[in-house]
Amino acid sequence: MKRKIFTSFFAITLGFNAVAQVKDISFAIAPTGEYVLWNKKSAIQNGFMVGGYVGFGFGRNLELLGSYSQSLGLKSRIDGFSVPDNIKDAFTSSDVDVHRWGGELKGNIPMTYSFQPYVTLGAGIQTIKANETKQDAIYYAFGLGTKFNLTRRLTLNLQAKGTYFNSDASNILYKPSEARTSTYNQWITDNISNEKMLNWSLQAGLQLYLGGRNPNELTELDNSYTNLKNFKVVVAPAIGYIDFDDDNNFRNTYLAGASLGFDFTEYIGVRGFYYQAMKEEKVSLNFDKLSLYGAEFLARLNVSNGVVPYITVGAGYLNVGKDYQGKVSTAENRSGIFAKGGLGLAIPLSKHLELFGVANLLYTTGNESADNALKSPNKLQGNVFYNAGIRIKFAKENEKYTYQDLVNELQTTEMKEGKEQAKGQNDTKATPISQKQKDIDYFNAQIATVERQIQLAYRQNDINNASSLLKEKEKWEELRNNYVAEHIPYPSENQANLVRMTPEQLQTLISEIVNKIEEGEGKTPDQRIDRLEKLLLEINNDNKKIEEQQKMNQSILEAVKNLEGNIQKTNVVVPTGQKTNTTKNGTK
């Protein structure tokens, strides 16, 4: 009961505070499908899994996602083992169901708008069901992928992933229809055991950004990744308490420890931690033979001068010493890996100090007795780990951008945004913005974003990247200009003063005029072309009055008619060496 109350309190507090800051945080959902190349020692055939992600984006380059996936029609296999022919003949393939859920950290590598690679790190719980037996395992995952921007808020993601976990294939290959002492089941028992395995998979999915910032625009949070003006080294001594699962043989205990890590911005950081258990379930300096250590990612959901909610995701190792005694002194206590996730609250005292408290769910696995299993399968155990302490942040001495500066800046920005929003709403009522104007504004925003990236590339002397960005800028400008040409009509009051023609038609007209006057005028072709260009420029000069433009149009038309008349009167040029006699009526 106390777990539910504590967790509910944190969730409610988190819900109220998370609304306050969405400027740099986006929300995303991503349905996915993947083809898994299962390790042969897993006794599972290759096949498909489907699922998805839901999570937060902290700026454009960092995302924290929760994941879930399940298998489709997987079957067991035995060809990954060296088995005698009689065992192979006795094997019968059976259905296998696999479920995974966990957390994943995704780092997007800034490139061009249309193409962006990324890396992922994650951990979670994997459950395999076969022959009416369920076994749980903690997995670690890593991946390398790329995303293609289809629209402003929709991307196509392609990724190659590796998944590391422990599994006992004996319960998958077990034949419950036979006795445990049968030749087949006895061979499985004697020759197949729990092993560490690595799977590879290819994953594809569509990611939709539902709210918050535009995922393709740089924010202040994105810029802070590069200049690291808020970079800090963080040390946090703390006291903790673990309430172990009832099925776990470990005793509930207090712990003392600390974490050391970095805050890259006011929003995100990484930590390494170590805690040592105390004896007799009380705070003392009498330490027990049980410890835990690992690493975690920390993400704040807002920044304020009050209570700040944040989330943590991590993994580690629970180490059991040689002389440790659990609830049952005769039972075996094994070391193992764990996955954790938590909700926390921080209370800033100054720019260098803050109090914090966190409630974590810490997942381990342990053996479970099962009559329908060949061996005791691993079962997921949910433990609650509370810890609280004080964080000490060390920053550069010449740091001018302090925590309070950020708070004041955010408050000032929010006030300005509120005023601008109210003003914008009033203006919108009078003159609503059309969809075409919004589209043009989007193109201009993309061009401005690329220009900032070009400036950054020049400052870093990255000529190759700058050249690529210049091409991307030209692409956006071409898209904008084409859109304007197709969707934005020329003002109607100027339609009567325009002579519309394509570039080919204009070139043809100029060529015809030049050819016709080439032999009838004393000016050079360059002079005549300059004259035509001058007239055309004068026609399109917005500063000329309508009457002057009409006169110019009339003068050009008269000039063309005169040229046609002159051409008709022009003498025929006869090549040298030929003599002709022309009669009055034109006969030879």
Ranges of each domain in the chain: 20-222, 232-395, 436-487
Bigger pLDDT: 303 vs 331: 331
In SS3 terms, 538-575 reads as HHCCCCCCHHHHHHHHHHHHHHHHHHHHHHHHCCCCCC
What is the band of 412 on the pLDDT scale with cuts at 50, 70, 90?
A: low
Provide the pLDDT for residue 380. 84
Segment 5-19 mean pLDDT: 41
Tell me the C-alpha to C-alpha distance, in Å, between residue 165 and each of 3, 195, 509.
Answer: 28, 8, 75
CATH architecture of 20-222: Beta Barrel (2.40)
What is the band of 554 on the pLDDT scale with cuts at 50, 70, 90?
A: low
Segment 532-541 mean pLDDT: 56
The yes-or-no verdict on residue 236 having pLDDT over 90 is yes
> Under DSSP, is residue 586 helix (H, G, I), strand (E, B) or coil?
coil
Asked if 100 and 67 count as a contact pair (C-beta separation under 8 A), the reply is yes
The two tokens of residue 37 are: 């190349």
Q: Write out pLDDT tens, residues 348-371.
A: 988 889 999 999 999 988 765 545
pTM: 0.58
- Greatest Cα pair distance in the chain: 136
**Does the domain made of 232-395 have the CATH classification 3.40.50.300?**
no
Q: Write out pLDDT tens, residues 175-192.
A: 888 888 899 999 998 998
Q: Write out pLDDT tens, residues 471-491.
A: 888 888 888 888 887 777 655
Nearest Cα to 342, choosing from 317, 314, 316? 314
Amino acid letter for position 284: S
What is the band of 266 on the pLDDT scale with cuts at 50, 70, 90?
A: confident
Q: What share of the chain is helix, strand, coil (3-state, %, to 5)?
A: 30, 40, 30
Bigger pLDDT: 199 vs 303: 199
What is the band of 572 on the pLDDT scale with cuts at 50, 70, 90?
A: very low
Domain 20-222 identical in fold to domain 232-395: yes
User: How many Cα atoms within 13 Å fall on the side-chain side of residue 422?
Assistant: 5
Query: How many Å apart are CA 583 and CA 588, to the nearest integer?
Result: 6
Amino acid letter for position 41: K
Nearest Cα to 309, choosing from 353, 347, 268? 347
Query: How many Å apart are CA 352 and CA 403, to the nearest integer?
Result: 8
Burial of 239 (0-12, 13-18, 19+ CB in 10 A): middle
> Under DSSP, is residue 15 helix (H, G, I), strand (E, B) or coil?
helix
Bigger pLDDT: 421 vs 186: 186
Bigger pLDDT: 302 vs 6: 302
Considering 55-69, 193-207, 209-223, 564-578, the range whose residues carry the highest mean pLDDT is 193-207
Provide the pLDDT for residue 583. 40
Provide the pLDDT for residue 524. 56
| Pairing of the two strands 154-168 and 194-211 | antiparallel
The two tokens of residue 177 are: 């229809």
Provide the pLDDT for residue 578. 43
Beta bridge partners of 256: 239, 276
Q: Write out pLDDT tens, residues 270-317.
A: 999 999 999 989 999 999 999 999 999 998 877 666 788 999 999 999
The yes-or-no verdict on residue 159 having pLDDT over 80 is yes
Inter-axis angle of helices 435-459 and 463-487, nearest 10? 170
What is the band of 551 on the pLDDT scale with cuts at 50, 70, 90?
A: low
Q: CB-based contacts of 358: which residues, under 8 Å, 6+ apart?
A: 312, 342, 343, 344, 345, 386, 387, 388
Burial of 315 (0-12, 13-18, 19+ CB in 10 A): buried
Amino acid letter for position 535: L
